[in-house]
Structure 1
């Protein structure tokens, strides 16, 4: 178990991504995945109010709704539920009124009394940051959320959030959710990690497997990843350097009887300030490799070797 920043939240170092629920995983598949994740020791679920809104026929909030239905049926204990605000079609942006309305809507869909970790999903340049920080603080004061977090914020804006929070005398964010993996490292390590270290925040990286590229399924630009909707973006990482990263993951994984997927997540978990990589599964059988990453500790030499082959790896897809 690991602690999320300076919070009182302790989690297994893996977060189950809810972005596929209502998209590539229907209700039955979502329930099976959630059941298996909990049975395997998982206790940290990540979603957002806008997830699955991009699917034709959906209106937004489908992921939260499915998780809420599962929670109501299974009634699991000691879970940490994280969700985000700013991208639901009905609740865009981070104005005070929108943050309040979106949080209440998320609570309704999830069927819970309080959100454990509430992220500002994307920075909102049109709303004064002072307004957003105060809005999150009010939610925390009123017991609707337990802890504040930020996602896709620049280092400068995170520092500004902390400054405002200190001036207002309210709690700082405890977590940062950046796009971070073996093929998308540079900005996070140069700018975001130092902020996290300075303020005692934990990183909960998304795209931990680079849209599936770091599973080893996309070793050529012709690979289709089994027809996955995310295959196009993942295959763009299949550069000579990308293939070298996969080959190195395979070699190191073989030494531990671990998969490429497991090894990629273990590398990320070994990085400074990383608490729990986010990884999603559209099928139950994918969870085995994800959960195994929480038990694989790479040696310092293995981490350094992966650092070397992935140094200056370019980002091939946007967040």
Structure 2
């Protein structure tokens, strides 16, 4: 993905590949499903109204929406799929479904529960990431394209989801909005084709011929994240690849402006959100996420009905023939 054979041959176009492996902007077209309304009354905004009663009602409604999805054994469930490829990247050899959950109502920390419906079990595809803000930096270990999972904590519940933060950073990073879409009756292949992780991970290709209709009650969750605190995100698994010895050397080849975020210097790049960052004595590639930016095209979530059914279909597809 990166051409690291020479530092001066590296260009910011390589950063586009890094960004594509994480979170991209620009959600694609019609989802082909029906948006599921929130629970009655949950359109009330937090803090609206002019009485303590209305604020309390909003708080209850916000908690109900998030907990109604994630609370273990009682919520609708939030599941995601991942796959395993051989070294040749020619075909999926195994699949995993991961449940993100809250142990009980009001909890702030997500748990993660993996299951292997088909093929040999394999390690969850996770990575080390770093976040830099004006207040400091924190490294986390988790999904590289869904960073609010086990690594993040809910700092505030909202009518459509929640805000989340990390332990060492005092301000929340993102406002996460979850939109439930009813995909009952749609073909399994069509549903997986909407999921960026399934497309990139080969699952959509594996199931491309599966026209079995999804059962009644099947929902997907479309996710958007609004940046609340300007930050630089880095995928540390690819750190220290010798991009450049200094930011000044990178600036000669690529232009841009050397700036500072908190205690860290970085080189921005005109026209996009990529950056090179001085971090732990090395120059690393990063992605600038500015307050107010909206991140879309995130992996889908699936409720329990949808995930259970798709897992069964995957199991059939991976059976020896």
Of the two, which has the highest radius of gyration? 2
TM-score norm. by structure 1 comes to 0.24
TM-score norm. by structure 2 comes to 0.24
